Structure 1
Amino acid sequence: MIFTNLKRVAAIASVALALPNLSAAEIFKGETAGVGDPVHTMFVAFTNQAGKADVEIQVNAGQTLTKSMLKGAKGEIAFFSTVPSLVNLMAGQKRMYEKVAGAPELAKNIRAILGFKAGAYHPVTLAGSGIEDWSDIKGKTVFTGPPAGSASATSEALIKIITGYVAGEDYKAVRLGWGEGYAALADGKIDMMVRPAEIGSANIERFGLSGEFRILSIPEDKIASEEMQGLFGRPGRGMMSFSGDVYKGQLTGGDITALGFTQFIGTNAEVSEDVVYQATKAFWENLSEVHATAFFLKDVTPETAFTSVNVPLHPGAVRYYDEAGIAIPDALRPGS
């Protein structure tokens, strides 16, 4: 009898070993920008809350968002940070997506979970650089962003609208990784850095801890121009104003007018509705913890949930927002 029972236990054990581990949680791949970037801060806040709902997202930081969105559209990763303007570029098979086969169809796979105000473009120059006004950029070396990203093109467009200067002709535009850009400015290898960052960014503040620096404000007489309004009106862009004294050692007095930028957390249309629902629900139900993560995240509220989102929401996110009574713009419902 004992022998028979042992045989039965062994048989059950062998069957169990042959079956997949149903209790093991699936780990989803996610990509975002580098540490210290507001996009990274927000994405990690989202993944931390999603983890409380057993939606485990493995974060690969320091990525170029143009590439992350493409990987998300292909279904190679499940969650990603992205820029609204990139959606139009992929859908139109333009610029960095020009040689991507099937880019317009891939763009149709992108779904949103939530949008947020990420920060503003900071044109930063150290005291003694010789740059005190936009016109002083002529002949100087300016870091405008990473080689493959959209930020460099935006920075160069901003400079051209204000000064008429063309990158590579009137000034030297340097394209490096974000971390390299910070280091180059600190070491005096470049004269100015144009860096998208949250308001009150510790990475910007550090230039005032050992000296003085200046953030150039968009001139008032340029704000109403057709070109500037066009830049403000692009998806994920807008005008922003903040006090110059938010940074210690910052030399521009009064309020600084800047080009603001927004982002959204995206996913693929094929990701499980229940997975996205649970992650979305966990994020909003633990919003107080999100707000405690960083000062700029206090602006993340249900009222700002769809800021600059220009793709349909994922059905899982829609399910949560409908349950929570958060009004969804009709244009963001799948199938609209």
Structure 2
Amino acid sequence: MFHFKSLGRAILGATLVLAMQGAVSAQIFKGETAGVGDPVHTMFVAFANQAGKSGVEIQVNAGQTLTKSMLKGAKGDIDFFSTVPSLVNLMAGQKRMYEKIEGAPELAKNIRAILGFKAGAYHPVTLAGSGIESWEDIKGKTVFTGPPAGSASATSEALIKIITGYVAGEDYTAVRLSWGEGYAALADGKIDMMVRPAEIGSANIERFGLSGEFRVLSIPEDKVESEEMQALFGRPGRGMLQFEGDVYKGQLTEGEITALGFTQFVGTHAGVDDDVVYEATKAFWENLNEVHNTAFFLKDVTKDTAFTSVNVPLHPGAVRYYDEAGIAIPDALRP
């Protein structure tokens, strides 16, 4: 005999199960990345968009300083973030911006990677008429080198010193502003040069050629093989990159430009559920064609480059996907 009482219990049980499933799928994960227009932002948003298709909803907070985002990720305050391989070593060694962070080396052990990618190159940009046509012309000039709290400014100033011997604050004035302020300052003539990490073919760099002419300084050939430059190229997340100068309209440096390349990775922390990271990773790689259509530079993101410059263990959820997909994982990256 059919009992309405039994039916009621069944419906109640099913309702509870659905409610629990809804609560899980409705969870929103916190993510942080750089500002709009930055290749790191483009990549992170592409990752978040694909993750959303698998039910992993990532709320993206853009315009953040990556040094701080990685620290928040290591603490478990956010779930996903963009970061720089070199920052991992600084946190693990409790150096520079992490010098006063209590327990920084232990926090660094919480960082996990999902995938790495080639982000672009440092662009030393100066407008026509600035008086800067070579690196030596920087002497006595004002140069935007990056934000106050990031690692880019130190890298830019190191690059200038290796090439010219010039020291920031002595031979030239180094200005540290937000990225947006740096662009505006160059456009308004308030600074003489800007050193900006950007993807090759960046619209933000290209815009200086739409209303005039500009120059991207190339690393001199005689400096490329120097011990100091090779050491800079060899740092985590760095390397030499070359591209044709005519990729930008109105760009005055002829021929091939040699630049300091940079790589990034999409990170998370050890406390994020394995299933969540698995689904997000799987969704990204299974929708790679859509990712490639997001931006020109993302066409270089392939399964063969998945571990580019990654220098922390992969998250177990990401490992599960790569193993299932038959993608060989370096032993050093297995958690």
Residues 229-271 of structure 1 deviation map (CA, whole Å, 9 limit, x = unaligned)? 0000000000000000000000000000000000000000110
Output the amino acid matched with 1:163.
Answer: T
Output the amino acid matched with 2:261.
Answer: G
Output the amino acid matched with 2:197.
Answer: P
Deviation for aligned residue 1:140: 0.2
Output the amino acid matched with 2:64.
Answer: Q
Deviation for aligned residue 1:330: 0.5
RMSD of aligned alpha carbons: 1.6
Q: Output the CA distance in 2 between the equivalents of 1:102 and 1:20.
A: 39
- Give the secondary-structure state (helix, strand or coil) at the position aligned to 2:293: helix
TM-score for both structures, normalised by structure 1: 0.94
Q: Are 1:189 and 2:183 counterparts?
A: no
Q: Output the CA distance in 1 between the equivalents of 2:271 and 2:78.
A: 11
User: Which ranges in structure 1 are unaligned for 5 or more consecutive residues?
Assistant: none
1:211 aligned partner: 212
Residues 126-161 of structure 1 deviation map (CA, whole Å, 9 limit, x = unaligned)? 000000000000000000000000000000000000
Residues 142-194 of structure 1 deviation map (CA, whole Å, 9 limit, x = unaligned)? 00000000000000000000000000000000000000000000000000000
1:128 aligned partner: 129
Residues 303-326 of structure 1 deviation map (CA, whole Å, 9 limit, x = unaligned)? 000000000000000000000000
- Give the secondary-structure state (helix, strand or coil) at the position aligned to 2:34: coil
Q: Output the CA distance in 1 between the equivalents of 2:96 and 2:237.
A: 17
Q: Output the CA distance in 2 between the equivalents of 1:116 and 1:245.
A: 24
- 4+ residue runs over 3 A deviation: 19-22
Q: Output the CA distance in 2 between the equivalents of 1:229 and 1:313.
A: 28
- Give the secondary-structure state (helix, strand or coil) at the position aligned to 1:207: helix
1:158 aligned partner: 159
Q: Output the CA distance in 2 between the equivalents of 1:228 and 1:269.
A: 35
1:58 aligned partner: 59
Q: Output the CA distance in 1 between the equivalents of 2:60 and 2:106.
A: 26
2:235 aligned partner: 234
Q: Are 1:106 and 2:99 counterparts?
A: no
Deviation for aligned residue 1:226: 0.4
Q: Are 1:315 and 2:316 counterparts?
A: yes
Q: Output the CA distance in 2 between the equivalents of 1:266 and 1:136.
A: 39
- Give the secondary-structure state (helix, strand or coil) at the position aligned to 1:242: strand
5 Å-filtered alignment, 1:24-103, equals: 24=23, 25=25, 26-103=27-104
- Give the secondary-structure state (helix, strand or coil) at the position aligned to 1:23: helix
- Give the secondary-structure state (helix, strand or coil) at the position aligned to 2:265: strand
1:23 aligned partner: 22
Q: Output the CA distance in 2 between the equivalents of 1:86 and 1:192.
A: 26
- Give the secondary-structure state (helix, strand or coil) at the position aligned to 2:291: helix
Residues 187-236 of structure 1 deviation map (CA, whole Å, 9 limit, x = unaligned)? 00000000000000000000000000000000000000000000000000
Identity of aligned residues (%): 87
- Size of the alignment, in residue pairs? 324
2:222 aligned partner: 221
Q: Output the CA distance in 1 between the equivalents of 2:267 and 2:19.
A: 29
2:150 aligned partner: 149
Q: Output the CA distance in 2 between the equivalents of 1:137 and 1:180.
A: 20
Q: Output the CA distance in 2 between the equivalents of 1:58 and 1:183.
A: 28
Deviation for aligned residue 1:112: 0.1
Deviation for aligned residue 1:289: 0.1
Deviation for aligned residue 1:62: 0.2
Q: Output the CA distance in 1 between the equivalents of 2:224 and 2:41.
A: 30
Deviation for aligned residue 1:22: 4.3
Residues 262-285 of structure 1 deviation map (CA, whole Å, 9 limit, x = unaligned)? 000000011000000000000000
TM-score for both structures, normalised by structure 2: 0.94
- Give the secondary-structure state (helix, strand or coil) at the position aligned to 1:293: coil
Output the amino acid matched with 1:108.
Answer: K
Output the amino acid matched with 2:169.
Answer: G
Deviation for aligned residue 1:20: 7.0
- Give the secondary-structure state (helix, strand or coil) at the position aligned to 1:188: coil
Deviation for aligned residue 1:77: 0.3
Q: Output the CA distance in 1 between the equivalents of 2:148 and 2:282.
A: 36
Residues 19-46 of structure 1 deviation map (CA, whole Å, 9 limit, x = unaligned)? 9764132100000000000000000000
5 Å-filtered alignment, 1:6-17, equals: none
Output the amino acid matched with 2:172.
Answer: Y
Output the amino acid matched with 1:325.
Answer: G
- Give the secondary-structure state (helix, strand or coil) at the position aligned to 1:194: strand
2:272 aligned partner: 271
Q: Output the CA distance in 2 between the equivalents of 1:327 and 1:270.
A: 24
Q: Output the CA distance in 1 between the equivalents of 2:21 and 2:308.
A: 38
- Give the secondary-structure state (helix, strand or coil) at the position aligned to 1:39: helix
